[in-house]
Amino acid sequence: MNRSFATSSLWILAATAVLVLALVPFDPAISQRAQGLPGAIMTFNRRITDFGTFAWMIYGSGFLVILAYVLHRVSRNETLAGRTKTAWRLPLYFFLTIGATSALVHLVKLLVGRARPELFAEHGAYSLTPFAYDDLYSSFPSGHSAAVGAFFGAFSMLAPRLRPLFLVSALTIGVSRVIVGAHYPSDVAAGLLLGLWTAIATAFLFARRDWLFRFDARGWPLPKSMLAAR
């Protein structure tokens, strides 16, 4: 196992554990207060929150993978074929990152079975019903947060200089899930970090195949374009 990958995974796991444990005691209070914010804030967050759906990300990147791959296979121009060979790997990176995140999120949701905030009056904030097969018991982790964690996490791996912007964007969507009453803060923290970890893990896999990324001297995957510029 790559030492850099093992180290980054441990850091993300530790950060997830610390954040979730720190937020869990305050989940009910934060959730209730967030849903009482002024109407303009509520409206804004309702408008942006569904950006974090898995469907459009998976279908969109999947379509681009197929399109770019077909163009690569049918091209007789060597220059164009070389460009499309690289081009189809870019949507593939997003497709695999987001698809893997979706699978992991749904598995954890099923195993945990945490009741959503809308059931707070009936079950409280800490009710767990594993294998409920019901969306009302799939609060942990937040799927929307995991999706944007993976989406913007992938962008942050491809464009490290813009990483703060991408991470703030992911956090903004994650916070909206608390404000609209769909999740507790600890659900959001777990989802964001799970998505980020998957983006990093996929980058490591691609670097091993010399696709889009290459390992630097420390064993960390960096975009090929960034390494070529050094």
* Domain boundary assignment for the chain: 3-225
Contact between residue 169 and residue 148 where contact means Cβ atoms under 8 Å apart: yes
Q: Is the pTM of this model over 0.75?
A: yes
Mean pLDDT, rounded, for 134-141: 97
Residue 225 is predicted with a pLDDT of: 77
Contact between residue 173 and residue 208 where contact means Cβ atoms under 8 Å apart: no
2-28 pLDDT, tens digit each: 788 999 999 999 999 999 999 999 999
Token reading at 44: 């804004």
Query: Is 112 a residue whose pLDDT tops 80?
Result: yes
CATH 1.20.144 fits 3-225, yes or no: yes
d(CA 51, CA 169) in angstroms, rounded, equals 11
b/e map 121-138, b = 16+ CB within 10 Å: eeeebeeebeebeeeebb
40-92 pLDDT, tens digit each: 999 999 999 999 999 999 999 988 888 777 766 665 554 555 555 667 888 99
* Residue at 164: amino acid letter: P
